């Protein structure tokens, strides 16, 4: 049964610090529960002619795991984050330039990809890059008995029958990015989508609180 009130469920505690790095145009460190990610943004900057796009900025995403050695899973995360952020950034304002988004995994206790997407969005906000909207990522697991678990821990994710990941925009809560692992019914997918869309309100409110905190400091 889909919860009618946001109070019927909760996400992991969120904590964030902006301007964490001094030598970047924007940066953020975000913890969702015990999972911690650091993101930095540099650009728009001049890039080689061969890499330029005459219509919009070229976004490069670099994901660095704790192990240090790049893997296929890291390249997958880079692709998801790049495609997601490209929908949000107003790249047409910065033709023939490049924007580099670097994401460093610090701790992973489940929900690494959703934490990385949300941290990347906060770093972009901090950088002042023009954006159509901000995005919020929420994940959901289908456990062994078929129940839905929002933002599962590492242990819950490993034992789950399926994992579903959703990213929503802040304007109309439209689905920006979505992908799944495992097997599940169509009804389960629809219920997970509704739950995660509702949960995204928590993330967007958290963004507003963070921006308000730092704007008061300025």
Give the tens place of pLDDT for each residue, 125-139.
999 999 999 999 999
With a cut of 70, say whether residue 117 has pLDDT above it: yes
Domains of the chain: 13-217 (3.30.230.70)
What whole-number distance in Å separates Cα of residue 201 and Cα of residue 5?
A: 12
DSSP structure class, residue 57:
P
Does the structure show a pLDDT above 60 at 121?
A: yes
Cβ(66)–Cβ(80) below 8 Å: no
Q: For the chain, what percent of residues have pLDDT higher than 90? A: 88
pTM above 0.75, yes or no: yes
Average pLDDT over every residue of 105-110: 95
Mean pLDDT of 90-115: 96
The predicted structure's pLDDT at residue 2: 41
Residue 7 clears pLDDT 70, i.e. is over it: no
pLDDT of amino acid 9 = 56
Asked whether residue 5 carries a pLDDT value surpassing 90, the answer given is no
3-class secondary structure, 218: coil
> What are the CA-CA distances from residue 98 to residues 58, 108, 188, 196 (Å)?
5, 29, 40, 32
Stretch 194-214: mean pLDDT: 95
Summarize pLDDT for 141-175 with one digit per residue, the tens.
999 999 999 999 999 999 999 999 999 999 999 99
Q: Are 84 and 117 in contact (CB under 8 A)?
A: yes
Higher-pLDDT residue of 68 and 204 is 204
């Amino acid at each position: 049964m889909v919860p009618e009130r946001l109070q019927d469920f909760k996400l992991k505690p969120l904590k964030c610090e902006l301007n964490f790095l001094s030598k970047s145009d924007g940066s953020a460190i975000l913890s969702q529960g015990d999972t911690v990610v650091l993101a930095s943004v540099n650009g728009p900057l001049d890039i080689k002619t061969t890499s330029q796009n005459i219509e919009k900025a070229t976004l490069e995403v670099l994901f660095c795991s704790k192990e240090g050695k790049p893997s296929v899973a890291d390249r997958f995360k880079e692709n998801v984050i790049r495609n997601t952020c490209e929908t949000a950034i107003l790249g047409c304002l910065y033709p023939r330039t490049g924007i580099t988004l670097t994401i460093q995994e610090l701790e992973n206790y489940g929900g690494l990809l959703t934490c990385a997407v949300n941290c990347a969005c906060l770093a972009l906000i901090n950088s002042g890059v023009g954006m159509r909207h901000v995005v919020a990522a929420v994940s959901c697991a289908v456990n062994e008995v078929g129940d839905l678990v929002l933002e599962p821990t590492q242990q819950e994710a490993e034992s789950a029958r399926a994992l579903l990941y959703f990213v929503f925009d802040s304007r109309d809560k439209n689905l920006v990015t979505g992908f799944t692992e495992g097997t599940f019914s169509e009804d389960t997918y629809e219920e997970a989508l509704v739950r995660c869309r509702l949960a995204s309100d928590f993330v967007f409110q958290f963004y507003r609180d963070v921006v308000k905190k730092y704007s008061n400091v300025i």
